[in-house]
């Protein structure tokens, strides 16, 4: 599909490598405003678009936005400012409590990333707060969130069983009723079925980036870990939203020149995680003209598969289509995250073996007999599917892994 005009305008407006002076009246006059706003909302970049357009129209008299659009953008900007202040207050409240309790929890993605990369918490779309933490700190996280009015989100009949299943996934969602503030605590940057990506405790230990928020300083991942986790997260979501490649372009603008790319990329190659980052870099360069280091450019030249996947993803985004990407793209993304047969087997098989809420006949506290729940799960699945279908499902998992 050919690139949609509004997508081109969108890229022109939000690109970190261009300043607002490059947004010109001619490009904007041809745009369908309603479609432009809808697309930017779908791609998670409406705050950035609104801010850039309002700045441009006040700096360049030649650019006259329709009155109704200006009013809409201003309204959105006001709502966005209030929303991000509310989230910032919640974040600061939590981080100060974690500090007091002596546990290391890192803000992840969200408004803190907005502050680091875009210079404002309000410029990056985020509706909740994400954190990275270590399993040993779970009791403290549960206590502190509870004391601040948050409860575990999601339906459950047994708290201990629910905590166990959340622990299997490594993700703990919380919600506070009074202001609908939502939190998500992650043990790892990707769920447990992505077996290669389960070393986030090291990220937490070596966190060194300082984020200043509301007069306080908080630690975040070091830039290399941040880039890797942003790319992994976006790959899990097939890079469908422009927000994620915009983050990479903005990251490159902020940290690209100070990072030591050679050892970083060599380390990724040893860990077989390089393809995920190369795809992110390629999209940042293709969509936003982000500047890549010579060594990253060379690695991309030697990876034609990544280049063609990046081409396909960029073409899909530029077409303005909100349809899901083609199946082969999706399979390619999984293959990037799961480069070995074992990774792919775990990815396919783990949902079959992991316990869920229906399998807890023995409470999670009973450590002696807890293993029997796995036998009960096998029996329940046998009863549900029958031996032939269950073996068939397992065989499909093994085959697709190969």
Q: Which residues bind other proteins (CB under 8 A)?
A: 51, 54-55, 58, 74, 77-78, 80-82, 84-86, 88-89, 92-93, 120-123, 179, 214-215
Angstrom distance (rounded) from CA 132 to CA 135:
10
- Coil vs helix vs strand at 126: coil
- Coil vs helix vs strand at 171: strand
Instruction: Please state the closest distance from residue 49 (CB atom) to other proteins, in A.
Output: 12
Question: 122 or 232, CB closer to other proteins?
Answer: 122
The C-alpha torsion from 169 through 171 and 175 to 179, rounded to 10°, is -150
Contacts 24+ apart (CB under 8 A), 107-111: 107/131, 107/211, 107/218, 107/220, 108/132, 108/186, 108/189, 108/220, 108/221, 108/229, 109/230, 109/233, 111/84, 111/87
Joined together, the tokens standing for residue 133 give 């933490």
Question: 77 or 195, CB closer to other proteins?
Answer: 77
Question: 78 or 154, CB closer to other proteins?
Answer: 78
Question: 9 or 48, CB closer to other proteins?
Answer: 48
Q: Are 10 and 49 in contact (CB under 8 A)?
A: yes
Angstrom distance (rounded) from CA 12 to CA 6:
10
Instruction: Please state the closest distance from residue 120 (CB atom) to other proteins, in A.
Output: 6
Angstrom distance (rounded) from CA 68 to CA 34:
11
Question: 218 or 347, CB closer to other proteins?
Answer: 218
Instruction: Please state the closest distance from residue 176 (CB atom) to other proteins, in A.
Output: 13
Question: 81 or 182, CB closer to other proteins?
Answer: 81
Instruction: Please state the closest distance from residue 32 (CB atom) to other proteins, in A.
Output: 24
Angstrom distance (rounded) from CA 83 to CA 89:
10
Question: 70 or 198, CB closer to other proteins?
Answer: 70
Q: Which residues pair with 220 in a beta bridge?
A: 209
Question: 120 or 209, CB closer to other proteins?
Answer: 120
Joined together, the tokens standing for residue 117 give 């990369």
Instruction: Please state the closest distance from residue 129 (CB atom) to other proteins, in A.
Output: 15
Instruction: Please state the closest distance from residue 81 (CB atom) to other proteins, in A.
Output: 4
Which of 55, 87, 61 minimizes the C-alpha distance to 74?
55
Measured in degrees and rounded to the nearest 5, phi and psi for residue 24 equal -115, 160
Instruction: Please state the closest distance from residue 112 (CB atom) to other proteins, in A.
Output: 13
Question: 110 or 256, CB closer to other proteins?
Answer: 110
Instruction: Please state the closest distance from residue 11 (CB atom) to other proteins, in A.
Output: 21
> If you search the block for the tokens 């210079």, which residue do you land on?
119
Question: 36 or 91, CB closer to other proteins?
Answer: 91
Q: Within a 10 A sphere around the Cβ of 289, how many other Cβ atoms?
A: 13
Instruction: Please state the closest distance from residue 103 (CB atom) to other proteins, in A.
Output: 22
Instruction: Please state the closest distance from residue 175 (CB atom) to other proteins, in A.
Output: 18
Angstrom distance (rounded) from CA 28 to CA 65:
8
Q: Are 50 and 73 in contact (CB under 8 A)?
A: yes
20-46: b (≥16 Cβ within 10 Å) or e: beebeeeebeebebebbbebbeebbbb
Q: Provide the strand spans (E) within 74-149.
A: 106-108, 129-132
């Amino acid at each position: 599909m050919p690139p949609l005009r509004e997508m081109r305008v969108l890229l022109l407006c939000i690109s970190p490598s261009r300043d607002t002076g490059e947004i010109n009246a001619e490009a904007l006059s041809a745009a369908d405003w309603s479609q432009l706003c809808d697309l930017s909302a779908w791609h998670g970049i409406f705050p950035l678009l609104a801010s850039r357009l309002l700045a441009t129209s006040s700096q360049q008299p030649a650019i006259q936005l329709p009155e109704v659009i200006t009013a809409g953008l201003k309204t959105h900007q006001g709502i966005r400012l209030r929303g991000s202040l509310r989230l910032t207050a919640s974040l600061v409240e939590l981080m100060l409590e974690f500090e007091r309790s002596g546990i290391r929890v890192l803000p992840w993605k969200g408004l803190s990333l907005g502050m680091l990369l875009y210079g404002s918490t309000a410029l990056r779309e985020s509706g909740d707060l994400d954190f990275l933490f270590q399993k040993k700190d779970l009791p403290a996280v549960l206590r502190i969130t509870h004391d601040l009015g948050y409860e575990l989100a999601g339906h459950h009949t047994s708290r201990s069983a629910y905590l166990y299943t959340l622990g299997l996934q490594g993700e703990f969602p919380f919600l506070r009723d009074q202001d609908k503030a939502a939190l998500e605590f992650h043990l790892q940057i990707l769920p447990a079925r992505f077996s290669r990506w389960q070393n986030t405790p090291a990220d937490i230990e070596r966190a060194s980036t300082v984020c200043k928020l509301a007069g306080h300083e908080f630690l975040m991942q070091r830039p290399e870990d941040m880039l890797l986790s942003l790319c992994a997260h976006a790959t899990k979501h097939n890079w469908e939203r422009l927000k994620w490649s915009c983050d990479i372009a903005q990251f490159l603008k902020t940290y690209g020149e100070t990072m030591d790319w050679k050892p970083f990329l060599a380390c990724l190659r040893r860990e077989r995680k390089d393809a995920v980052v190369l795809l992110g870099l390629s999209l940042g360069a293709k969509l936003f003209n982000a500047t890549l280091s010579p060594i990253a450019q060379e690695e991309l030249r030697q990876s034609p598969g990544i280049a063609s996947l990046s081409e396909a993803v960029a073409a899909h985004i530029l077409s303005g289509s909100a349809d899901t990407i083609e199946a082969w793209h999706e399979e390619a993304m999984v293959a990037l995250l799961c480069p070995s047969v074992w990774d792919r087997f775990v990815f396919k098989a783990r949902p079959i073996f992991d316990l869920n809420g229906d399998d807890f006949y023995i409470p999670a506290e009973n450590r002696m007999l807890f293993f029997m729940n796995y036998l009960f799960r096998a029996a329940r699945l046998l009863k549900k599917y029958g031996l032939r279908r269950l073996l068939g499902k397992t065989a499909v998992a093994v085959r697709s892994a190969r």
